[in-house]
């Protein structure tokens, strides 16, 4: 009998499969299709201090082996998440949930995290300093070790729960930024967020999405994500949540060998709403195929040999 359980900053989860923020709503939407309690946990929709309508449409562009989105952090704001979304979630999800938080200033991040920290349902924070689809925030914090560390310190000062910092791949040295976050008190690192990409409509000769550029995700980015997880694992001693192009149980194993403790599934949820459930069901057989008895034994395994 294989063991799929992993420990994520002191919280044991049944398996390492986590739907990524922005692809799973606030959970209850997917609970209409299957029992989402089979998940290790999930990262809910990126939440900001104030409500956001998001970017103008069109916001989505399909492309080879992936998609580009520029939704722009549309969400109802932290107060509505606490008063409306979390109570709805509690009716269908009995496990701790990961709170994904974005901001446009260090004070924004701290304010939103402090409010959510009081919610019993929250198990971890995933602080997004890497969104490429907003102006004046998001990725501007994630491309500088100093700014990334400043956000980390501010959030850690007002929270009691583990804090994962979600990093951008749109940098030249991901390891130095991860190290700065660790030194500032981060409990873990999430990576990667989307790459910056675009599409141009040949008929109109204009960018397809109104924001011109957006976050590129899907199977095409998996090699970049794996490389960055591998590099960050060698730079830090805190847990890593890996993501980028994951769509199978084999992908999960590959990310864990690179150094991830848990693995998020993003764009694949938008193609197949059952994908996380299916990966969880497939995982034991894939573990047996590769003679893996305990998932925790393979974390970082590609570095030892």
Task: Give the integer Cα–Cα distance in Å for 237 and 157.
Answer: 21
Q: For helices 106-117 and 145-156, what crossing angle results, to 10°?
A: 30
Q: Please give the structure tokens belonging to residue 260.
A: 């991830």
Catalytic site residue 131?
A: yes
Q: Which of 113, 131, 181, 276 is catalytic?
A: 131
| 217: CB partners within 8 A, 6+ apart | 66, 67, 68, 69, 194, 195, 244, 245, 266, 267
Q: How many other C-beta atoms can be found within 10 angstroms of the C-beta atom of residue 11? A: 15
Q: What are phi and psi of 119, to 5 degrees?
A: -85, 125
> Looking at residue 67, what DSSP letter applies?
E
**Contact in structure between 181 and 157 (CB atoms under 8 Å):** no
For residue 259, CA distances in Å to 215, 240, 272 come to 24, 7, 26
| 143: CB partners within 8 A, 6+ apart | 168, 170, 171, 177
SS3 readout for 125-183: EEEECCCCCCCCCCHHHHCCHHHHHHHHHHHHCCCCCCEEEECCCCCCCHHHHHHHHHH
Peptide bond into 135 cis (omega under 30): no
* Nearest of 176, 158, 61, 35 to residue 108 by alpha carbon: 158
Q: Which helix (H) or strand (E) holds 287?
A: helix 275-289
Question: Which residues belong to the active site?
Answer: 131
């Amino acid at each position: 009998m294989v063991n799929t359980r992993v420990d994520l900053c002191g919280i044991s989860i049944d398996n390492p499969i986590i739907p990524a923020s922005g692809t799973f709503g606030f959970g209850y939407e997917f609970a209409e299709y299957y029992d989402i309690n089979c998940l290790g946990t999930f990262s809910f929709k990126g939440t900001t201090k104030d409500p956001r309508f998001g970017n103008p449409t069109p916001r989505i562009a399909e492309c080879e082996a992936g998609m580009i989105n520029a939704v722009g952090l549309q969400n109802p704001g932290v107060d509505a998440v606490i008063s409306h979304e979390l109570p709805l979630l509690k009716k269908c999800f009995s496990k701790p949930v990961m709170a994904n938080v974005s901001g446009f200033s260090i004070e924004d991040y701290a304010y939103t995290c402090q409010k959510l920290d009081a919610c019993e349902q929250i198990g971890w924070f995933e602080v997004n300093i890497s969104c490429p689809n907003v102006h004046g925030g998001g990725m501007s914090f994630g491309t500088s070790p100093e700014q990334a560390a400043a956000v980390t310190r501010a959030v850690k000062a007002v929270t009691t729960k583990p804090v994962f910092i979600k990093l951008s791949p749109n940098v030249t040295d991901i390891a130095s930024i991860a190290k700065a976050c660790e030194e500032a008190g981060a409990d873990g690192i999430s990576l990667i967020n989307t790459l910056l990409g675009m599409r141009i409509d040949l008929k109109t000769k204009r960018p397809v999405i109104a924001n011109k550029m957006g976050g590129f995700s899907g199977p095409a980015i998996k090699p970049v994500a794996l490389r960055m997880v591998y590099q960050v694992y060698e730079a830090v001693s805190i847990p890593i949540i890996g993501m980028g192009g994951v769509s199978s149980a084999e992908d999960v194993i590959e990310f864990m060998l690179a150094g991830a403790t848990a693995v998020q599934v993003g764009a694949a949820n938008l193609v197949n709403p059952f994908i996380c459930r299916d990966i969880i069901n497939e995982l034991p057989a894939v573990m047996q195929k590769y003679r893996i008895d305990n998932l925790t034994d393979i974390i970082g395994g590609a570095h030892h040999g």
